[in-house]
A and B are shown apart, each in its own frame.
Chain A
Amino acid sequence: MLKVINLVKRYGRFTAVDNLSMEISEGQIYGFVGANGAGKTTTMKIIAGLLQPTSGEVIIDGINIFDSPRTVKRKIGYMPDFFGVYDDLKVDEYMDFYAGIYGIPYRDRKRITDQLLELVDLSEKKDFYVDSLSRGMKQRLCLARSLINDPKLLILDEPASGLDPKARVEIKGILRELKNMRKTVLISSHILPELAELCTAIGIIDKGKMVASGTVEEIMDKLAGMRKLKVKVKENTENAVRLLQEQPSIKGIRINGNIIEADFKGDDNILSLILKRLVLQDIPVISYTLEGESLESIFMHLIEKNGSESYDA
């Protein structure tokens, strides 16, 4: 869906985005994580066709944005980190205006607007002036606006920044719904836990460079190395321990009653293979879980140099 190849953006001698590549396939929720000033907004603006990169390619739905920017932009929904509203418009007029901007015919506008306002839970505010909405509501309105052209790719730049916890939860709820709608989403944040549960893939950017990317599990494997495998058996603990000790991907083993804790390093295939072997040995496994290191600590580990985190932009 989205392919970014060797993107570079320089401001004078300062390099904001440094040879960054990424790929997002359809239906993915891609979390774009990095500290303040890492280059998230710059990258997203380039993808949204708002900024000319120094070099590099952006291909969306098979079309290079620099070949036909307007065609590509029609397929994108973009929500900037900072945005303004026209204070002299009512909520439904606001949506109607952007529907016009996207060339949606008059007869379809009301239906689309109603649907989206329903999605972001602003139906009751339809006749209110945009100016009178709370910050969280404006943010939701902007999210609805970014969906008005039924975009194939949604680019959300810190959609929950500057909001109180309750408003954050509301935004998350909407994002979960978008996930159910199988939208492809690129979402940025400088706070990892905010994204961890939502995303199918994550890219970590630091000083303009992509330092790690992949599915959430892949990143955890790659960065954390060891993870804790917890196996709970009904009986036959000794057999289970012996079998686990034979596996090359398992290092240390601790036994705690009928719970076996093992240090594991490997991917999902190996993990399922081990379970299969346990079952084939007639070992009655009750539970089999892999406990990962939290994304937050991975992240901190990754960007130790500028590890201090500030929460609001």
Chain B
Amino acid sequence: MMLNPILEKDLKTKMRSWRTFVLLSLYLAFLGGVLYLYFLSNNIMFDIYGYSTFNPRIAVNAYNVIAMFQFSLLALIVPALTSTAISGERERQTLDLLLCSGISTLSIIMGKLLVSVANIMLLVVASLPILGMVFLFGGISFWEVLLMFLYYIITAFMAASLGIFLSVTFRKNVTAIIASYICFAILAVGPVIALFIWGVFFGRNYSGEITYGFIAKFLFPSPGFGFISFLAGGHSSMFGFGSLVNEINNFIERDPSWLRHFKPWMLNSIFNIVFSCFLIYLSAWKLNPIKKRKRK
């Protein structure tokens, strides 16, 4: 059994490069900073409204804030990590050396993809202590967190496939990076805009009921939609997501169709997996300099 040589090499060089540790430190510092600011602002609230005891609601909200920040940070990092994977090899003039070896282009793509996913996993796992602290107070179960991490990985996988596909498509690093941010933004916000446009033009004449299933048909490609599943509900609180999350959950429950059983993250993950496979296959095909010829 042989490890993918590209994965093996990139992991080795990444782990001993200072960049990885700078990235990791910045990432943790940022999460920690957000958390600190959050508690600080709550302390001020305590003073104003005169709560005297520890309030677990605040911890739940802190969990939500942190999870959201983490998710957005990952969304910012993944395109930067992946969109130079192939264009970087091209710019460095090492791509031909890989392509002339007879290694399958699928192996090259998968190697690059797994490197970025491993990189993301490193960030997520390293942030566990920070999040753990919050869960401790927030009453979030271990399984919920594990599920959220699974969703992170699946989303990162999709974002990485997208980045790599654009990296194969565009020859220059810069173009590839910009393109992947644009595409990722379109993916995240586009469905919401589509739903909005629908509402403006057709909403008035629509006689059916606006159900969860109906909205999901618009929003399923958006990572933001999938992420909603992981916001923790709670008692309605002064500020924060608790009540909003409860509303959403009720809304989902009310849907009469079978879609009710599929949480947003499941629908989004199914899309992510299918879309990733498509992008990976397309990237491998595009990267291949020689297309097999059919015998006449």
Task: Please list the residues of chain A having a beta carbon within 8 angstroms of any beta carbon in chain B.
Answer: 45, 48-52, 65-74, 76, 78, 80, 82-86, 88-89, 93, 97-98, 100-103, 105-106, 145, 149
Contact = CB atoms under 8 A, between A and B. Distances in A.
A237 to B, nearest CB: 60
A83 B94 contact: yes
Given A67-B295, A101-B103, A83 B97 contact: yes
A88 B15 CA distance: 11
Nearest to B12: A93
B13 interface: yes
Contacts of B94: 83-86
Interface in B15-38: 16-17
Given A49-B99, A50-B99, A69-B102, 11 more contacts: A51-B289, A66-B293, A70-B104, A72-B102, A74-B102, A78-B96, A80-B96, A86-B13, A88-B17, A101-B6, A101-B103
Contact of A145 (B92, B97, B289): B97
Given A67-B292, A88-B13, A103-B2, A98 B100 contact: no
B93 A82 contact: yes
Minimum-distance CB pairs A-B, first 9: A100-B5, A73-B102, A84-B93, A84-B92, A78-B100, A70-B102, A66-B293, A88-B13, A74-B102
B96 A73 contact: no
A49 B13 contact: no
A234 to B, nearest CB: 58
Given A82-B93, A83-B93, A101 B289 contact: no
B101 interface: yes
Contacts of B9: 86, 89, 93, 97, 100
A74 B102 CA distance: 6
Given A80-B93, A97-B9, A52 B291 contact: yes
B98 interface: yes
Task: Determine the main DSSP class of B at the interface with A.
Answer: loop
Interface string B77-112: 000000000000000111011111111100000000
Nearest to B103: A101
Contacts of B17: 88
A172 to B, nearest CB: 23
Contact of A66 (B12, B101, B290): B290
Contacts of B144: none
B247 interface: no
A102 B101 contact: yes
A66 B293 CA distance: 6
Interface in B200-228: none
Contacts of A73: 100-102
B94 to A, nearest CB: 5
Nearest to A83: B93
Interface string B255-296: 000000000000000000000000000000000011111010
A83 B99 CA distance: 13
Contacts of A149: 101
A65 B12 CA distance: 34
A101 B98 contact: yes
B80 to A, nearest CB: 18
A84 B100 CA distance: 14
27 contacts: A45-B96, A50-B289, A51-B289, A52-B289, A66-B292, A67-B293, A70-B102, A73-B101, A78-B100, A80-B97, A83-B94, A83-B97, A84-B92, A85-B94, A88-B13, A97-B5, A97-B8, A97-B9, A98-B97, A98-B101, A100-B2, A101-B98, A101-B103, A102-B101, A102-B103, A103-B2, A149-B101
